[in-house]
Amino acid sequence: MQRTRIKDMLAGETGGTVLLKGWVRTKREAKGFSFLEINDGSCLANVQVVADHTPELLPAMEQVNTGAAVAVEGELVPSPAAGQKWEVRAARLVVYGQADPETFALQKKRHSDEFLRTIAHLRPRTNKYGAMLRVRSEMARAVHEFFQARGFFNVHAPILTGSDCEGAGEMFRVSNLEAEKAARLEPAARAEAEFFGRPAGLTVSGQLEAELMALALGDVYTFGPTFRAENSNTPKHAAEFWMVEPEMAFADLADDMDLAEALVKHLARHALERCEADLALFGAFVDKTLLPTLTNIFAQPFARLTHAEAIRELKASGKSFEFPVHEASDLQTEHERYLCEERFGRPVIVYDYPKEIKAFYMRLNDDGKTVAAMDLLVPRIGELCGGSQREERLDVLTRRMAEVGLPEEPYWWYLDTRRYGSAPHAGFGMGFERLLMLVTGIANIRDVIPFPRTPGHLEF
RNA sequence: UCCCCGGUAGCUCAAUCGGCAGAGCGGGUGGCUGUUAACCACUAGGUUCGCGGUUCAAGUCCGUGCCGGGGAGCCA
């Protein structure tokens, strides 16, 4: 007999014989029978099993505790008691794996996020993390749906890279050499001994490669892991995270902002429509304002203002910020939060930043002072997307590289795209975990990825 | 990396001025009950993060290290 997932079982209108397999959340003993709450991960809801203490069922039932993996065969019938529509009257009970109640870490009570991080191998079996993982999967699907419906191609950027200075952050070194042997070699000899014959690292961004693909396929996006060796210890940074990076040929900054806004709106709406039960859990126990916040995201256009206008808004606010507001500086976290949480009460896109505080590949505006960059800021989290129109003019690009002290040689292939058939193009990066923080209300990036990698943490 | 706060039972926390180490939940045993964060009674459970110091006496004070959280920077 085929097992029935709880999600399908509870959605059905008729009962009948079912085979149910899952993990016991709680066991309640009564006189002559027991109640089991079973969860199989297919949805947030458990199904209640009623098992009489018959000679066939009792021996197995005595082995069952919270956490055990079981199979139950029985009749799905309307429940006579309040609390659930259906329940299963057990005819057969098989225990696949027991869970010793003396040592099993997950209890029926609520656990702190900090504790659950120390048992990341077991936390998917809790309501909150099960819900997060289902939403995560659904959001990944929605990202692909969004782009593919718009004619974007999914391209796979390399994870191993030889580009030493992509500019987005500190890179992890990758080597197959034994550490002791490598340490004894001179730099040149060491590079030669490396697997790739040169220093290698893990990618900090697929953007440059995505640009190459966009200048051939038109509209593309990458969706893959990204690595930053920054010693960042904050609720919104991880050393390994997943990033969505669309890149569009024949597009300018306005197109870029339109795409980012449409993407975030689509994902917020999709979460509300397709993850209703799981989001209700987050709305009830994680962030009471979650559902209004998400609705508000697609209810109205995002605010858009230039960096200079943002500075004026901040100065006119009359607020005393810890960090002074200055025309030549990037916005501080407190500034970002003021703009989207207080001043506008919705997501905000800030664009046209001073060139000094942005990367070399961003397109120089006609004023010669600003670049066509944009940051999409959302309440609570701050920067969700960061992007720009790319500098497509070879002479301007090489001049900018010289200004910031970047050698041209390692970027010969990048510059080649500006020599041959260069075209205006634009794109951005969206941190997938930050999106999940927005959509679930979960406050720490370590809790929206199954096994978070942060400084000093490589367990699991 | 910098600033602030914290580390006590399996978990969440309390312990007054430096003076006998506590509670709830969870576990075990028994009872009761179509129960549903079940309930009632009893019970076991401690290197108070490590090291060093002050003191008659340290969970508590001092120094130091490790770990965790929050804020900042870096950014997605």
User: ipTM of the predicted structure?
Assistant: 0.87
- CATH number of the structural domain A6-104: 2.40.50.140
Q: By the 8 A CB rule, do A160 and A174 touch?
A: yes
- Measure A159 CA to B19 C1' (Å): 62
Dist CA A27 CA A202 (whole Å): 47
Dist CA A431 CA A416 (whole Å): 29
Domain ranges for chain A, please list them: 6-104, 125-169+204-447
Superfamily of domain A125-169+204-447: Bira Bifunctional Protein; Domain 2 (3.30.930.10)
Residues 23-52 of chain A with CB under 7 A from strand B are 26, 28-31, 35, 37, 48, 50
Encoded amino acid at A231, one letter = N
Dist CA A79 CA A85 (whole Å): 6
Q: For each of chain A's 460 residues, which pLDDT tens digit applies?
A: 899 999 999 988 888 999 999 999 999 888 888 999 999 999 999 999 999 989 889 889 989 999 999 999 999 999 988 888 999 999 999 999 999 888 888 887 788 898 999 899 999 999 999 999 999 999 999 999 999 999 999 999 999 988 765 555 688 888 888 877 888 888 788 888 889 988 889 999 999 999 999 999 999 999 999 999 888 888 999 999 999 999 999 999 999 999 999 999 999 999 999 999 999 999 988 988 999 999 999 999 999 999 999 999 988 888 877 777 888 888 888 899 899 888 999 999 999 999 988 999 999 999 999 999 999 999 989 999 999 999 999 999 999 999 888 889 889 999 999 999 999 999 999 999 999 999 999 999 999 999 999 888 888 8
Angle between helices A290-299 and A253-274 (to 10 degrees): 140
Q: By the 8 A CB rule, do A248 and A255 touch?
A: yes
**Helical spans, DSSP H, in A172-240:** 179-184, 187-193, 207-217
Pick from A158, A165, A172, A161: nearest CA to A229: A172
Do the domains spanning A6-104 and A125-169+204-447 agree at the CATH topology level? Answer: no
Q: Which residues contact A324 (CB under 8 A, 6 or more apart)?
A: none
Q: Is A248 helix (H, G, I), strand (E, B) or coil?
A: strand
Residues 112-171 of chain A with CB under 7 A from strand B are 112, 114-115, 117, 168-169
Dist CA A44 CA A274 (whole Å): 13
